[in-house]
Amino acid sequence: MNYKAVIQYEGTRYRGWQVQGNTDQTIQGKLETLLGRMAGEPVEVHGSGRTDGGVHAAGQVINFHCKVSMSPQEIRDYMNRYLPEDIAVLSVEEAAPRFHARLNAVRKTYVYTIWNSAVPNVFGRRFMTRIEEPLDVERMREAAGYLCGKHDFLAFSSLNPRRFKKSTVRRLDEVRIEQKEAVIRIYFTGDGFLYHMVRILAGTLVEAGLGLRCPEEMGALLESGNRADAGRLMPPEGLTLLKVEYS
């Protein structure tokens, strides 16, 4: 049976999503170990995307195949009983045999959260990045407008173009920036994201908000395809995978 599940996790203490040979501190590794124990045989877990170390998820989607005499709700309850407290399973349901969490995803939404204050946020520090200098949110919104649409986002990724042979063209449907007092949230929705793409997009918008870039530069950055031309790579703790959409 193929199962689809929605999970959330705090990525602070993990080395990222993907299983790695030199550590057991990955989200995929924790899930596969637990499901393998439940099923009595190895279980491979597919995620909608590979979040980096320190990045969080509020609505990561996974799928896995296993044979158990348990209802989806019983699987959910079993997983929540034995998973670490910083990983939770929101739902489990039976899926079509060919459903694949990554290959069938049509849109994803990430949010990057900034604490824009000279005073640290003690309780939110694991989920936001602090920038002390005041940010001009209107300049950031203006810059974001140039990024929406279908573009080659190679300049906004940490990929090595000599090794990465697939297309780096992606469709960015929306960049929405909300501000409430010291909290600034940047929402990115698109059909897919390259390695470090959201964190670099956020860093470039931050530089526009600090007056270090003109919003009109965004088009030239897209054309350049050069990582060195784009903005800073923002720290991972401010990033959260919010939701994944399917047709």
Given CA atoms 203, 205, 209, 214 in this order, what sign does their dihedral have? Answer: positive
The catalytic position among 52, 77, 86, 136 is: 52
Alpha-carbon distances, residue 76 vs 34, 85, 95, 110, 154 (angstroms): 12, 14, 14, 24, 39
Residue-level length of the chain: 247
CA distance 205 to 237: 17
Q: Is 149 within 8 Å of 160 (Cβ atoms)?
A: no
* CA 163 to centroid of chain Cα atoms: 23
Q: Is 4 within 8 Å of 89 (Cβ atoms)?
A: no
Q: Is 48 within 8 Å of 59 (Cβ atoms)?
A: no
φ and ψ at residue 64, rounded to 5 degrees: -155, 150
| DSSP letter for each residue of 163-186 | T--S--EEEEEEEEEEEETTEEEE
Is 24 among the residues known to form the active site?
no
Residues near 220 by beta carbon (within 8 Å), at least 6 away in sequence: 229
Given CA atoms 191, 106, 104, 68 in this order, what sign does their dihedral have? Answer: positive
Catalytically annotated residues: 52
